[in-house]
Amino acid sequence: MLNKELANAFNLMGDLLEIQGANRFRINSFRRTGRTLKDLIEDVAVLVEEDRLLEVPGIGKGTAGKIEEFIEVGRIAELDELLGKMPDGLPALLDIPGMGPKKVAAVWKELDIEELGDLKEAIEDGRLAELAGFGEQSVKKIGEGIRFMETSGERVPYGEALPLAEALAEEVGAIDGVKRVAIAGSLRRGRETVGDIDLLCIASDGAAVVRSFVALGRVASVLASGDTKGSVTVPLGSAREMQVDLRVVPEESFGAALQYFSGSKEHNVRLREMASKQGYKLNEWGLFKNDKQVAGRTEEEIYAKLGLPAIPVELREDRGEFECDAAFIETLITMADIRGDLHMHTVASDGKCTLEQLAEAAKGLAYEYINITDHSKSSAIANGLSIERMEQQIETVRAFDKTFKGLKVLVGCECDILSNGDLDYPDDLLAECDIVVASIHSAMGQAKEVITRRTIKAIENPHVHIIGHPTSRLLNKRPATAIDVPEIVKAAVETGTALEVNSAWKRLDLNDRHVRHAIDAGAMLSINTDSHDTPQLQQMRYGVATARRGWATADRVINTMSLKQLLAWKERMQ
């Protein structure tokens, strides 16, 4: 869906108008449209096609025209005009934590700052701290934001890049003469962030396919166009572009090329070494014996010829996968193993949909159960539930569950772990819940030993079943806390508490390396979406990919259990 991309475009137009000192009504109009599009459950393109766009509250004729323009040509002329009225590097300053439109406008108009380098100079020579509306603490936070942004690099989160890659793969698949398309690269391996998108396809006329590829409507610029490879950039949101490479390969080499271009480099080096020791030569064109191709149509036949099981792509990091046997590989977690989602939010706190809407959506995924976990009282910004509201929530969910057919609706909460390690709700209230998720949402800058002990205190509470997003990171936005992951894993093993693999694309927390450590130590996991809206239930696949990268097997994930097994597991924890 284009909803998010359009929402970002309208929000950016609002920001640019504010930088330029435009009418407040226009600014708010664009931002209201952005919020509407972000919260919209239906696909905006479908609404346009069915002539129902103006039925959506918050969208008028003017903004509807811009939405239709974007869907038709992939751009909004007014956004291009706004960007053209300011230095190219200025909008990027909006991505820096602590730099909103007002501050970007101030540094541009008062200090003649036009891009990141200028801003860094103004921090170093003290001019920024002297500017009205800033000050030492504000400048310090901006400097820290710049350093984190620079160290996080230009890589794109997995959950942002994959939908774009899938859309592009579908468009390439529709080009005349293309027989098959596949996503390759680190994106296919499920890396949490990626630098670009790699696509492979089978076609006899490579040059014609490449010409069609570089002419796709969403292409922003063409970097290269040849007989078998094309490179372009495409918009990712409104302010970024991402490089996409397409390679056209013959059918007899497709498996070899897919294996080669999926990597990782370390895995491929080991595989080529193994091939060489057995008298073969392996490259992107196939596996050869005395210049005769003996495998290459599929990845599986290459691995089989070298005496290996078909190593799942998520494991190809040279972290021991060559020693895996087929029996172990068969036990790795898959989407088919997931029987429920144990972390999600409704309109009772900061969710965008009702209890019934979540339940219906989860039933559509053939889940056996879900667990409603609205925020506890200290999460004021998330409309956390007071004790009285939580008591009512329990009654409401229990009553709903009695009448809803086809899915068990459990009641829980996402209970804040307070700065001293206490929980936000008393034990007697937590005891009324089915599954309790405990998470940190505040005081994330505490020292390592403090935040670790704080989390362990929650783990040791018998009413806590899952520790939510244990490191509290947000990809490319907020670094992980200083928490000692091995220590919390140890505590979780001792108590039987599950550690969450939060599937939200902004989090992927625990990450794959932490998952591997938890699995090796004997901990249990729970893979959840932390959904605040029904489309976010689809993010489960990101968490499953992360868990697979960490060698998680289905028997180590609590939401692969049947409802009966899950409740029995919970009772054993008491």
**Cα gap 25→469, rounded to integer Å:** 39
What tokens appear for 239 in the block? 């302010």
**pLDDT one-digit tens code per residue, 352-402:** 999 999 999 999 999 999 999 999 999 988 999 999 999 999 999 999 999
How does residue 241 score in pLDDT terms, banded at 50, 70 and 90? confident
Distance CA 209, CA 204 (A): 9
Considering the chain, tell me which residue range(s) the CATH 3.20.20.140 domain(s) occupy.
335-573
Q: What is the pLDDT of residues 304-330, one digit of tens each?
A: 999 999 999 999 999 899 999 999 999
Mean of the per-residue pLDDT values for the chain?
93
- Count helices and strands in the chain by DSSP H and E runs: 24, 17
pTM to 2 decimal places? 0.76
Model confidence at 57, in pLDDT bands (50, 70, 90)?
confident
The residues of the chain that CATH labels 1.10.150.110 are 3-152
Gap between the Cα atoms of 364 and 241, Å rounded: 34
pLDDT attached to residue 144: 73
What CATH superfamily classification does 154-249 receive?
A: Beta Polymerase, domain 2 (3.30.460.10)
> 293 has which bridge partners?
288
Element (H, E) at 392: helix 387-403
Q: Supply the angle between the helices 512-521 and 485-495 in degrees, to the nearest 10.
A: 40
CATH 3.30.210.10 in the chain, residue ranges: 265-328
Task: Name the DSSP letter for residue 56.
Answer: S
pLDDT tier for residue 36 given thresholds of 50, 70 and 90: confident
pLDDT in tens, 268-299: 999 999 999 999 999 999 999 999 999 999 99
Alpha-carbon gap, residue 97 to 94, rounded angstroms: 8
Beta bridge partners of 410: 371
Distances (CA, A) of 406 to 157, 187, 358, 531: 35, 35, 13, 20
Chain region(s) in the chain for CATH 3.30.460.10: 154-249
- Give the fold, CATH level 3, of 265-328: Beta Polymerase; domain 3 (3.30.210)
What is the SS3 assignment for 245? strand
Q: Give the H or E element holding residue 103.
A: helix 101-111
1 has a pLDDT exceeding 70: no
Question: What is the C-alpha to C-alpha distance for residues 45 and 70, in angstroms, rounded to an integer?
Answer: 10
Provide the pLDDT for residue 153.
53
pLDDT digits (tens, 9 = 90+) for 488-497: 999 999 999 9
Cα 305 to Cα 477: distance, rounded to the nearest angstrom: 44
On the 0-12 / 13-18 / 19+ scale of CB atoms within 10 A, 529 is buried
Q: Which residue has the tokens 């602590």?
A: 98
Give percent of the chain with pLDDT exceeding 90: 80
pLDDT in tens, 242-277: 889 999 999 999 999 999 999 999 899 999 999 999
Find the farthest-apart pair of alpha carbons in the chain and give their distance in angstroms, rounded: 77
Residue 133: strand, helix, or coil:
coil
Distance (Å, whole) CA 77 – CA 14: 14
CATH of 3-152, one of 3.30.43.10, 1.10.150.110, 3.30.360.10, 1.10.20.140: 1.10.150.110
pLDDT at 150: 65
pLDDT at position 212 over 90: yes
What are residue 193's DSSP bridge partners? 157
Question: Does residue 296 contact residue 286 with C-beta atoms inside 8 Å?
Answer: yes
Distance separating alpha carbons of residues 485 and 514, to the nearest angstrom = 7
Characterize 283-301 residue by residue with b for buried, 16 or more Cβ atoms within 10 angstroms of its Cβ, and e for exposed: ebbbbbeeeeeebbbebeb
- pLDDT recorded at residue 247: 97
Residue 35 has what pLDDT?
80
Query: Six-digit token pair at 50?
Result: 């069915």
Q: Report the CATH number of the 335-573 domain.
A: 3.20.20.140
Residue at token pair 């108590």: 495
pLDDT value at residue 138: 84
- Going from the C-alpha of 492 to that of each of 262, 461, 482, 495, 552, the distances in angstroms are 35, 11, 18, 5, 16
**336-353 pLDDT tens trace:** 999 999 999 999 999 999
Q: Which residue has the higher pLDDT, 95 or 431?
A: 431
CA 301, distance to chain mean position in Å, is 32
- Residue 440: pLDDT band (50, 70, 90) is very high
* Per-residue pLDDT tens over the stretch 95-116: 887 788 999 999 999 999 999 9
- Residue-wise pLDDT for 178-200, tens only, equals 999 999 999 999 999 998 999 99
